[in-house]
Amino acid sequence: MKVAIYGQYYKKEVAIYIKELFRVLEKNDIQLMVELAFYKLLKKKNTILKDFNTFNSNEDLKNVDVFLTVGGDGTFLRSITYIKDSNIPILGLNVGRLGFLANVQKNRIEEAISSLLKKDYTIVERSLLQVHTSPQMEALEDFNVALNEISIVRKNSTAMITVETFLDDEFLTSYWADGLIVATPTGSTGYSLSCGGPVISPTSKNMILTPIAPHNLNARPLVIPDETKIKLKVVGREKRALLSLDSRIMTIPNNVDVYVEKANYTIKTIQLHNQTFLKTLREKLLWGEDIRNL
């Protein structure tokens, strides 16, 4: 088995778990590659002492069986910029905070690797959102998809923006708000949830439109089929707004039309049999923790 490892940051308190991960992988004779910047960071901190092959792009990931992220959900989301359409399944080790996507707990590393080797897991395919603009923006040419959500929000102003929204070329409404989120089922437990959006199963064939702090109080989150083609346009006193694809942010002028649709490929995620979506909901959202349910 060949495993690629990716992380974005280093904290002293997680070094012990990173060392444990490398120890378990090497003990099982798993071939390793480490993302170049993360590798340099680990070597600088003396967290790893051996030399490993590195990768720095999607082209370097040939013959990789599993892509393993070390961090939180942000690290997991960023990993798709390497995975792209390669169909390499992702497993996330959670050394961060919430961990909806990176749901292997740091004290269960050996158990998780054992499940990988025994193929005791399920592959869950997660849909992506793809965005393009008219006129086309150079910042989107290299990678224009998101696993969680695409959002348009106000920039450098306390004034609300108006987001004109069309579904399959039919006008829906103008959201007068701080912004608008278009979320995937995976993203339903992220930014959209914080803004009052619904939680939906990651395998649902839907998208969610969730306004951010809308002034028109009858504006509510809307669940739509994932084959819907969405067109968004910002109008308002400010000349620019922010366009966010997961954690990647760029500035867009108001005269740009933003088109959002489901991407033509999916991301494969590894779900260990002891960590289902419903179990993650119960653990992370504390469902059932009310003492009246005990």
Residues recognised as catalytic: 73
Hey, which bits of 13-146 come out as E strands? 31-35, 53-55, 66-71, 90-94, 104-105, 121-134, 145-146
Task: Tell me the backbone φ, ψ of residue 215, rounded to 5 degrees.
Answer: -80, -35
Length of the chain: 294
Check: CB of residue 42 under 8 Å from CB of residue 36.
no
Pairing assessment for the beta strands 257-272 and 104-105 based on DSSP bridges = unpaired
* Contacts (Cβ under 8 Å, ≥6 apart) of 235: 161, 162, 164, 174, 254
| 147-168 exposure pattern, b = at least 16 Cβ within 10 A, e = fewer | bbbbbbbbbeeeebbbbbbbbe
CA distance 17 to 4: 17
CB atoms inside a 10 Å sphere around CB 144: 19
Which structure tokens are listed for 231?
A: 């067109």
Helices (H), 175-291: 191-194, 277-284
Hey, which bits of the chain come out as E strands? 2-7, 31-35, 53-55, 66-71, 90-94, 104-105, 121-134, 145-146, 149-154, 161-167, 170-177, 179-183, 206-212, 222-225, 230-235, 240-245, 248-253, 257-272
> What is residue 124's three-state secondary structure?
strand
